[in-house]
Amino acid sequence: MDIHPVDIKSVTIEGLFWAERLRQMQEIVIPYQWELLNDRILEAEKSGAVQNVRIAAGLEKGDFYGPPFQDSDLAKWLEAASYVLASSPDAALEGTVDELIDLIRSAQEEDGYIDTYYIIKDRDMRWTNLRDMHELYVMGHLTEAAVAHYDATGKTTLLEVAQRAADLMIRVFGRGRGKIRGYPGHEEIELALVKLCRATGEKKYLKLAQYFIDERGRQPCYFIKEAKKRGDDPTGPWGSGLPDYWQAHAPVREQRTAEGHAVRAMYLFSAMADIARETGEEELSESCERLWENVVSKRMYIIGGVGSSHDGERFTEDYDLPNESAYAETCAAIGLVFFAHRMLHLKTDARYADVMERALYNNVLSGISLDGKHYFYVNPLASFPGAGKPHARQKWYGCACCPPNLARLMTSLGTYAYSQTAEALFVHLYLGGSVRFDIGDTPVEFKMKTAYPWKEKVTCTLGCKEPVQFKLHLRIPGWCEKPKIELNGEKIKVKKKMLKNGYLVIDRSWKDGDTIMMLLPMPVKCLESHPEVRMNAGRVAIQRGPVIYCIEEEDNGAGLNDILLAKKAKFKIKSGSGVLSGVPVIRAKGYRRSLSGWKKTLYRVAGSPLKPTKITAIPYALWANRTPGELLVWIRAAK
Amino acid sequence: MDIHPVDIKSVTIEGLFWAERLRQMQEIVIPYQWELLNDRILEAEKSGAVQNVRIAAGLEKGDFYGPPFQDSDLAKWLEAASYVLASSPDAALEGTVDELIDLIRSAQEEDGYIDTYYIIKDRDMRWTNLRDMHELYVMGHLTEAAVAHYDATGKTTLLEVAQRAADLMIRVFGRGRGKIRGYPGHEEIELALVKLCRATGEKKYLKLAQYFIDERGRQPCYFIKEAKKRGDDPTGPWGSGLPDYWQAHAPVREQRTAEGHAVRAMYLFSAMADIARETGEEELSESCERLWENVVSKRMYIIGGVGSSHDGERFTEDYDLPNESAYAETCAAIGLVFFAHRMLHLKTDARYADVMERALYNNVLSGISLDGKHYFYVNPLASFPGAGKPHARQKWYGCACCPPNLARLMTSLGTYAYSQTAEALFVHLYLGGSVRFDIGDTPVEFKMKTAYPWKEKVTCTLGCKEPVQFKLHLRIPGWCEKPKIELNGEKIKVKKKMLKNGYLVIDRSWKDGDTIMMLLPMPVKCLESHPEVRMNAGRVAIQRGPVIYCIEEEDNGAGLNDILLAKKAKFKIKSGSGVLSGVPVIRAKGYRRSLSGWKKTLYRVAGSPLKPTKITAIPYALWANRTPGELLVWIRAAK
């Protein structure tokens, strides 16, 4: 079954929830980020990204600015801008994109090399520090942008840049005589090369990706050899002393747990899944599944976040999921979406889509403010600023990986929602809008109307000039126990045999105007964690549909950790107000201790009376959009 | 009322609990630490302390070893050794001490300067970095050792060294022309100078201490001026950017909260209380009381620990008392004992002794292993090593402040237990042994027989050749609700008017053989924290008498945080076994979730069944004396 995401150009997104977010992306975020990348937003941190390319192209004098991987912000922006162009013509944006591509072309070296850090700083030092210097990462992002631009516009201006760079890599890297037998410290080029192969049909790019994947983790470790050659500390700047930070502790087919820097791990696993799909290799596929299981069953926050430690932005150990000090980087959650999306195309199973959805509606969306201009890099699950500075979204970051990464994911959302085969459409995510696709020679339109995830109802309508037989796969979310489905007004009783890997399969000859009404009941649920997640013992997280809720100081006052959710609490849904207008807000009964009667007492014999209190919970992704203050996801629950 | 601690030479300590600890101190710890200070314990971290003095004295060639304050370890050891000599003659030890003093005398500079770091490294740089370089701290400890040595032996060999150093300080520091108008970055000299004044009767030493106290925190800040003069970072190596790290953010009489490095704060506050007592100054006394209240009612762990943050070993903010990441340095708890002891002599109130006792039996004793050879620097209240290294006591530390600090406190314990006035004896702590003192010309012996804090009974016997009238003040511990007292077999009904500031006062003409039997009932209690201590919400700590209990992996299995103490749990006391033989161990009923049924599930709908489990708690101070593993003080309690 050759399942693949639908063409981005065939998707429209309309209606509640996403359309407004995407309009904001197109009208505010993409233009705003362009200003930022050009250093024209004075009150934000300087980027230097465009300036670096101008200097590399010889159009300006100056030194490289920012971290060595600064080019990648520009590439991610280009990728996002291309997705916007794919779905809606925008001459001004297209002009800006073309100009930037021209600039990048003029900065590219004759042999295909394109990384402004080394072009500006020291051409001779190229490829001498694959571990830390991100050249292959930067060129990976440029390649992803090139493929997106080509898909959106049909133009090969940037694709040629990417191909020249990839051809250079083919000459430089590999097992042959005189070649560098290394691989990147930050994975990204691998999955980009798979995309380049798919876009150009050139298998040589897939082969290079395979080489990078196969070589990683072989002993003796390339990074140690490379560091010694440079006269550098072989343990690297991250001090772990182990190459697991770079997923280089073992060959990828032998890795059993997700280790090291979380974004890198997610990009590696994504590429592994891509390659397993392209090659059909069972061993690699099994390794992907094993690593997936380790992540989602032992190392993932309930918000779909991964990488719990600030120190090294990394995975630590099974069940180590601290809340206040959670790192849960926005980019890592985006990486988990990528990994999930690849797994979904390796083995079409709704459990991958469940995790994709969990990450998307919680940790990923938390990364961007409702006004679209402020970003979280770090997403804690509890925050108690006390007398200190509350955790708040920033306009930009010195290391600004997350904002443009959010942009490229959100602007290509349609391709995460739908997949197709020759005889089937898969609906992974429920969002308003439509997708057009062909079954044989028959064009079909599949429309959805929904306010998901705020509302439970999804109405799907088929459009086709003549009846057409195909299998519609509708994902039944893992959180949804009793879905109700009607086809043209008639109830469909969902039986086990109609379900395949978590999808409801309706195989029939579809007629124009056929309508499916889905009701995905979203009762409020309290979830608990595995007993080994010690941080969450005695606590519950509130979930409604795919949305994880939190309590904030704004609604509940300070001292959130002293709040106790009542036993068998009943939950009421109300519509939020202000910036949360239209958002389902959850109310429940709880208790807390009084601060009076304590005077100068710090400790006393237990037994303080509890006084009733009302608990108000809002979606986690929307926290810190009002007065910044305390936050709590895992709430104490009476036993 | 001129209350003062009793003479150390007049106290003996016998019987259960302390006698064995002190025998171990004398026979094992003091000789072992001497070997360590001489770098003769190969498997421990190098000290270099004795070697540094030999190099400074010109007896050896070489460079200074260790942190700049390395001399202080030696001084603290000398102080402890002197206390041992005070209570039991030991010719070998006295010989070692005399030799070391000779060595120190020969290293002292002609003008009185004695700090081997600058003597070895750079004489010209003396006094140029009072903030970081600990010269005054080192000389303070030497002064305390000198007074202890003089008190114990009557010899002035070391006292002369201290006086010469102090006389030099008087010439160097102060407000006069050409003098350095500074004060130390690490307080210690202040309280040492008060001791020197008391030992020598020379008021000039008290005046210098007063100057240091008065000058601290005046604006512009001396440390900033000094750093600028050196061309150094004015914010210092601790990065706070504020002089509160060194308690120099405000004049001491205006400080309202305990700030900065916890040991430094404790030593400062101790000196302030000392000086307030000597001068009778009300304003300084009020400041001491205010700072005391801030510490004990908002910033103290239940184990009597202070300074919650690893970062800067410091105070943070009110109610910020994290358990897993608790710093609670052993030296800071020792410092709290010092502060409490001084407050007790400023205003004789048992609430100071309550805190002194809490720190002593919990955080201080936790600092040393049952074998006397291993030390904790950091004392967490929860520890979950997971796959990592368990928190375990070390043989010695590169920065080895805690081990000899423990030694000097424990070897002088008698002076913390008893105070006297012309007409009264105060008993602050209950421990086996005796104290001899005079009322007028009549010598009196007061004996105690007890296994406190393991047992509830204390039997006191008076010894005097002729009847003698005096007021016996017996502390009724704050934790003790219904003490039972018998005098010569007759019950004394404890009435309010017999209590003065927490002490039961028995004023009578005492006869030889008079016997008081005290029963201090120690029912097991569950304590809760102030609601603003968010870390402890829903949790209780188990306390029996002055002893805080904890649960350990050894007795309860891993996953301590998933244990839930039953509602209204009944507690049973059993005698421990193995190294805990004779220790009251507490048993109670609890619950925990099963690990089975979770398979690959990380999160699921709440409502896991709880299965009954037995909880075994041991005294916190004794944790990590068996197989190292998990630890928990604040246990989840069913509501």
Residues in A closer than 8 angstroms to B637, CB to CB, are 606
Q: How confident is the model at residue A105 (pLDDT cuts 50, 70, 90)?
A: very high
| CA distances from residue A155 to A302, A327, A457, B539 in whole angstroms, order as listed | 41, 39, 40, 64
Tell me how far CA of residue B211 lies from CA of B184, B189, B207, in angstroms.
11, 11, 6
CA distance A531 to chain B (A): 6
Which residues 530-569 of B have a C-beta within 8 angstroms of A? 530-535, 537-538, 540-541, 559-562, 564
Which chain A residues are Cβ-neighbours of B588 within 8 angstroms?
Answer: none
Q: Which pLDDT score, from 0 to 100, does residue A45 have?
A: 86
What residue of B is the nearest CA neighbor of A630?
B534
Task: Give contacts of B636 with chain A, Cβ < 8 Å.
Answer: 537-538
- The stretch B568-572 carries a mean pLDDT of 96
Mean pLDDT of B355-384: 96
Model pLDDT, residue A329: 97
Q: Distance, in angstroms, between B538 CA and closest chain A CA? A: 7
pLDDT (average), residues A366-387:
93
Asked if A636 reaches chain B (Cβ–Cβ under 8 Å), the answer is yes
Chain B contact for A296, CB < 8 A? yes
Chain B: give the shortest CA distance to residue A632, in Å: 12
Give residue-wise pLDDT tens across range B123-136. 999 999 999 999 99
Residue B197 pLDDT level (bands cut at 50, 70, 90): very high
- DSSP for A290-342, please give it: HHHHHHHHHSB-TTS-B--BTTTTB--STT---STT----HHHHHHHHHHHHH
3 state DSSP class of A550: strand
- Distance between CA atoms of residues A376 and A396, nearest Å: 9
Averaged pLDDT score across all residues of chain A: 95
Q: Verify whether the Cβ–Cβ distance B320 to A607 is below 8 Å.
A: no
pLDDT at B241 over 70: no
CB contact under 8 A, A527 and B388: no
Contact criterion met (CB below 8 Å) for A424 and A473:
yes
Distances (CA, A) of A270 to A451, B46, B604: 30, 49, 26
pLDDT of res. A395: 82
B595: closest chain A residue by CA: A531
User: Is 70 exceeded by the pLDDT of residue A217?
Assistant: yes
By C-alpha distance, which of A503, A510, A504, A499 is closest to A440? A510
pLDDT at B445 over 80: yes
> Could you read off the pLDDT of A441-496 as tens digits, one per residue?
999 999 999 999 999 999 999 999 999 999 999 999 999 999 999 999 999 998 88
Quickly list DSSP for B9-77: GGEEE-STTHHHHHHHIIIIIHHHHHHHHTT--TTSPP--HHHHHHHHTTSS-----SSTTTHHHHHHH
Greatest CA separation for chain B: 80
Least confident among A528-532, A583-587, A588-592, B235-239: B235-239
SS3 labels along A178-225: CCECCCCCCCCHHHHHHHHHHHHCCHHHHHHHHHHHHHCCCCCCHHHH
B150: helix, coil or strand? Answer: helix
CB-CB neighbors (< 8 A) of B297 in chain A: 600-602
Say yes or no for a CB contact (<8 Å) between B296 and A602: yes
Candidate from A202-206, B218-222, B249-253 with smallest mean pLDDT: B218-222
Catalytic member of B187, B190, B215, B313: B313
Predicted confidence (pLDDT) at residue B235 exceeds the cutoff of 80: no
Which residues pair with residue A517 across a beta bridge? A459, A486
Whether A439 shows a pLDDT value over 60: the answer reads: yes
Q: Report which secondary-structure segment, H or E, holds A403.
A: helix A402-410
Of B197, B288, B401, B460, which is the active-site residue? B401
- At residue B240, does pLDDT exceed 90? no
A639 pLDDT higher than 90? no
* A297: CB partners within 8 A, 6+ apart: B600, B601, B602
Neighboring chain B residues of A564 at a CB cutoff of 8 Å: 538, 639
Q: How far is residue B623's CA from residue B580's CA, in Å, rounded to a whole number?
A: 10
A537: nearest CB among B535, B607, B636: B636
Q: What is the mean pLDDT of residues B483-499?
A: 94
- 3-state DSSP helix/strand/coil percent for chain B, to nearest 5? 40, 20, 40
Q: Judge whether A313 counts as a catalytic residue.
A: yes
| Cβ <8 Å between A531 and B559 | yes
CA of B160: how far to CAs of B93, B97, B476, in Å?
21, 15, 42
Residue A238's pLDDT band (cuts 50, 70, 90) = low
Q: Taking 80 as the threshold, does the pLDDT of residue A518 lie above it?
A: yes
Whether residues A602 and B639 touch (CB distance < 8 A) is answered with no
**With contacts defined as CB-CB under 8 Å, which chain A residues touch B607?**
528
pLDDT digit string, tens, across residues A135-173 = 999 999 999 999 999 999 999 999 999 999 999 999 999
pLDDT of residue A1: 56
Percent of chain A at pLDDT exceeding 90: 90
Measure CB to CB from residue B606 to each of A540, A564, A592 and give the nearest one: A540
Q: What percent of chain A has pLDDT over 70?
A: 98
Q: Confidence band (pLDDT; 50, 70, 90) for B17? A: very high
Which residue of A lies nearest to B539 if distances are taken between CA atoms?
A606
CB B606 within 8 A of CB A527: yes
| Beta-bridge partners for B507 | B471
Q: Across residues B589-601, what is the average pLDDT?
A: 94
Q: Given the structure tokens 């030991």, which residue do they identify? A: B90
Q: Which residues of chain B make contact with A535, given a CB cutoff of 8 A?
A: 561
Pick B531's closest partner by Cβ from A527, A538, A559.
Answer: A559
Higher pLDDT, A610 or B237: A610
Chain B interface disruption, residue of A602, A611, A634, most B CBs within 10 A: A602
**pLDDT for residue A43 is more than 90:** no
Catalytic residue among A313, A456, A552, A554: A313
Listed range (A12-16, B62-66, B364-368) with the worst mean pLDDT? A12-16
Distance CA B551, CA B408 (A): 30
Among candidates B297, B530, B601 on the partner chain, residue whose Cβ is nearest the Cβ of A297: B601
Reply yes or no on whether the pLDDT at A590 is more than 60: yes
Active site residue B313: yes
Contacts of B525 in chain A (CB under 8 A): 605-606
pLDDT at A490: 97
Looking at residue A240, its pLDDT comes to 58
Q: What are the tens digits of pLDDT across the range B201-216? A: 999 999 999 999 999 9
Cβ-nearest to B537 among A302, A636, A638: A636
Closest-CA residue of B relative to A597 is B530
Interface of B with A in 81-120 (CB under 8 A): none
What separation in angstroms does the CA of B352 have from each of A16, A307, B345?
64, 46, 10
Distance, CA of B192 to CA of B213 (rounded, Å): 13
The residue in chain A having the minimum alpha-carbon distance to the alpha carbon of residue B319 is: A602
Q: For chain A, positions 598-617, list CB contacts with chain B under 8 A.
A: 598, 600-608, 610
Residue A15 has what pLDDT? 87
CB–CB of B595 and A532 under 8 A?
Answer: yes
Model confidence band, residue A42 (pLDDT cutoffs 50, 70, 90): confident
Which pTM value belongs to this model? 0.94
pLDDT of residue B239: 55
Q: Does B597 touch chain A (CB under 8 A)?
A: no
Residue range B542-550: mean pLDDT, rounded? 98
State yes or no: pLDDT of B238 exceeds 60: no
pLDDT at B1: 56
Size of interface A-B (CB pairs under 8 A): 129
Whether B513 shows a pLDDT value over 70: the answer reads yes
Q: Min CA distance, A240 vs chain B (Å)? A: 13
Q: Do A605 and B528 touch (CB under 8 A)?
A: yes
- In tens, the pLDDT along A266-311 reads 999 999 999 999 999 999 999 999 999 999 999 999 999 999 999 8
pLDDT at B402 (0 to 100):
82
Residues of B in contact with A637 (CB under 8 A): 606
